[in-house]
Amino acid sequence: MSKDKVILAYSGGLDTTVIIPWLKENYDYDVIAVCIDVGQGDDWKAIKDRALKTGASACYVVDAREEYITDYIWPSVKANSVYEDQYLLGTSTARPLIGKILVEYARQEGAVAICHGATGKGNDQIRFELAIKAFAPDLKVIAAWRDAKWDMDSREAEIKYLEDRGLEVPMKKDQSYSRDENIWHLSHEGLELEKTENEPNYKHMLKNTVVPEEAPEAGEYVKIEFEKGIPVSVNDKKMSALEIMTELNKIGGRNGVGLADICENRCVGMKSRGVYETPGGTILYFAHEMLDHLCLDRDTYHFKQQVSLKMSDLIYDGKWFTTLMDACMAFVDKTQETVTGWVKLKLYKGSIRGAGSYSKYSLYNESIASFTTGDLYNHHDAEGFITLFGLPLKVRAMMEQQVGEGQAIVGSKNLKKRPTE
């Protein structure tokens, strides 16, 4: 009699490598490992071999890089979504896609369950499981770290579990940062970062970005072209989405751009400290926001900022496949219809400065904005505008003077006596 099947989200890292024998020992499932390439840069052949040697009955590798960029990263760029001012949502944007692909394999294989290795303290357990619930509420979800049969409470315990069974340990003890990498970013948690008073050991930690102080003295210019909010070329060369991200990661990385050390609020209620490398993403966000400034009117831009903030929370919390997310994206897509043009930036030792921008849809009008008086703007028009714009203030001040109370009365405590010498 054939065994029930479980789909395991397999990264080849410590947690998911331990889970393969653990599932077989505790659930007697056939374990089908699914590796989803969103730009981790891993040796997928070696990882597939590791999964099979560790006990998986099958292992599938999916190249989802282009899909990840076009369907998840580009929408976030168009919205300028940033969580708590610094985090560019690198892990958060990838998890909905991974969850969806796990469901697709579960349906194809006739599996009864999906298993993931996200810890009970993290955000990823929520992101994976919300995606699964959105497409397959009937499937069982096994979250190993929350399971009553799971008795490992640390990475050291996981390492010992594999060593006791003569299985390969996919990491060294002195390098055991908890990392998540994709084409958009690389995150680091653990080791010295667990104490907020410690400075990150950047030389030991960083993989894709140079320490800003060690970046080239000359700096570097980069030009990015957008069509309807989506990047289409770098330095006047048309590229695919994957090529754009690969090129900008190289450019940003060698100039020390895109480092963030954040103590963020997880959606599970605790704070967590992480260091993020997002070189290409940081360049794109800066450039795209410059073009938004050029092409969007004041009301639209200011409302988009509110929508962006809401979208950031939705993405961070794993609520990608929701009606509200769809509605927010519909608004963002409308705003991006005229966000077409190019932006030039200068990168220097971790910093980014604007070096020019252009759009045929630009709302900047030199004839109006220039300090030289032109035919399109009459300075006297401002008088009537200010009268109406300031009318509520004037009416309130007149009332205060009439009743003898408030900031507008003679001798008001709000008005200081200034020196006359």
Residue 177 amino acid letter: Y
Segments in 136-193 forming alpha helices (H): 155-164
Q: Is 189 exposed, middle or buried (0-12, 13-18, 19+ CB in 10 A)?
A: middle
CA distance 100 to 68: 12
Segments in 176-322 forming alpha helices (H): 202-205, 241-254, 279-295, 298-316
CA distance 75 to 81: 9
124 a catalytic residue: yes
154 a catalytic residue: no
> In Å, what is the CA distance from 322 to each residue of 76, 249, 319, 325?
15, 31, 6, 5
Cross-strand partners of 224 = 234, 343
Q: Given the residues 11, 76, 92, 178, select the one marked as catalytic.
A: 178
11 a catalytic residue: no
Among 55, 48, 8, 47, which Cα is nearest to 167's? 55
Q: What are phi and psi of 160, to 5 degrees?
A: -65, -40
CA angle, 368 then 374 then 380, to 5°: 85
Among 213, 246, 355, which Cα is nearest to 290's? 355
Q: What are phi and psi of 329, to 5 degrees?
A: -65, -35
Within 13 Å of residue 109, how many CA atoms lie on the same side as its CB?
27
* Local structure of residue 418 (DSSP, 8 states): P
Q: Given the residues 15, 30, 292, 317, select the one marked as catalytic.
A: 15
Q: Given the residues 30, 65, 76, 95, select the one marked as catalytic.
A: 95
Segments in 28-180 forming alpha helices (H): 44-54, 65-68, 74-79, 90-109, 124-135, 155-164
151 a catalytic residue: no
CA distance 331 to 333: 5
Question: Is residue 271 helix, strand or coil?
Answer: strand
Q: Given the residues 50, 65, 124, 312, select the one marked as catalytic.
A: 124
Question: Is residue 229 helix, strand or coil?
Answer: coil
- Spell out the residues 6+ positions from residue 388 whose beta carbon is closer than 8 angstroms to its own: none
Residue 386 amino acid letter: I
Q: What are phi and psi of 293, to 5 degrees?
A: -60, -35
CA distance 44 to 90: 21
Catalytic residues, which ones?
15, 95, 124, 178
